[in-house]
């Protein structure tokens, strides 16, 4: 049986988390959110969590070796539980991470089916992040300087990942209603 493995990709506030949950339900995939993994590690005050916190609080990316180590452990656990596919939300964020993900999947005899790239304008991103900050309690979503830095880091370090995956990327306009965006994403997955 071939596993369906998807990366959902886009700037902070593009709707990756919201859409990942829906896609995971629709296609019976395990939602893997590095943000959730980080928050779990932070809540448990693990050494990796505390290391990640230093970078996250500054709006910087967590070092690859920390991310890949946490991700590898999560995949092993899920595969042992019989998971039949994954949607990766918030990873990879750099070309080095994309290469590490490819190697990790190859070791597990898996590959990516497609990369969904949510494209959203900057003004809309800032508006969404502020709104999320009011409802989620995430302090990093309410500070303008941190939001600006996160978008700058995305543009400099994460945006090039789309070029790395050019043969698998499907660009989706991430503006409109949640349902409209979901339908576009579903169609892209079904046609991959």
**What domains appear along the chain, each with residue ranges and CATH number?**
4-179 (3.40.50.300)
Reading the block at residue 106, the tokens are 């190859």
Active-site annotation holder among 93, 128, 170, 184: 93
**Helix (H/G/I), strand (E/B), else coil: 9:** strand
Active-site annotation holder among 99, 138, 148, 173: 138
Place of tokens 């898996």: 110
Active-site annotation holder among 74, 150, 170, 184: 150
Active-site annotation holder among 16, 22, 74, 184: 16
Over residues 61-119, the pLDDT tens digits come to 778 877 887 888 788 888 889 898 999 998 898 899 999 999 989 988 899 999 999 99
- Distance (Å, whole) CA 155 – CA 93: 10
The strand order across the sheet containing 30-33 reads 30-33, 85-89, 4-9, 114-119, 169-173
Q: Are strands 85-89 and 114-119 parallel, antiparallel or unpaired?
A: unpaired
Over residues 23-59, the pLDDT tens digits come to 999 999 999 988 787 777 788 888 878 888 888 788 7
- 150 is an active site residue: yes
- 128 is an active site residue: no
Residues 6+ positions from 116 with CB-CB distance below 8 Å = 6, 7, 8, 9, 19, 170, 172, 185, 188, 189
- Distance (Å, whole) CA 26 – CA 46: 33
Answer whether residue 139 shows pLDDT above 80. no
pTM comes to: 0.83
- Distance (Å, whole) CA 185 – CA 23: 8
Cβ atoms of 79 and 42 within 8 Å: the answer is no
- Distance (Å, whole) CA 89 – CA 92: 8
pLDDT of residue 72: 82
- 54 is an active site residue: no
Averaged confidence pLDDT in the chain: 88
Cβ atoms of 142 and 133 within 8 Å: the answer is yes
């Amino acid at each position: 049986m071939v596993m369906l493995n998807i990366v959902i990709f886009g700037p902070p506030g593009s709707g990756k988390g919201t859409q990942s949950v829906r896609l995971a339900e629709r296609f019976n995939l395990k939602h893997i959110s590095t943000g959730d993994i980080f928050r779990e590690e932070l809540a448990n005050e693990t050494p990796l969590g505390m290391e990640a916190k230093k970078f996250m609080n500054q709006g910087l990316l967590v070092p690859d070796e920390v991310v890949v180590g946490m991700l590898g452990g999560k995949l092993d656990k899920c595969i042992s539980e019989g998971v039949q596919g994954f949607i990766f939300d918030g990873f990879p964020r750099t070309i080095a991470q994309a290469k590490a993900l490819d190697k990790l999947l190859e070791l597990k005899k898996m590959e990516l089916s497609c990369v969904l790239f949510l494209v959203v304008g900057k003004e809309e991103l800032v508006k969404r992040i502020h709104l999320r900050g009011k409802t989620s309690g995430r302090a990093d979503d309410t500070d303008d300087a941190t939001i600006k830095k996160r978008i700058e880091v995305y543009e400099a370090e994460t945006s090039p990942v789309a070029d790395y995956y050019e043969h698998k990327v499907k660009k989706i306009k991430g503006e409109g209603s949640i349902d409209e965006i979901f339908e576009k994403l579903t169609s892209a997955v079904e046609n991959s």
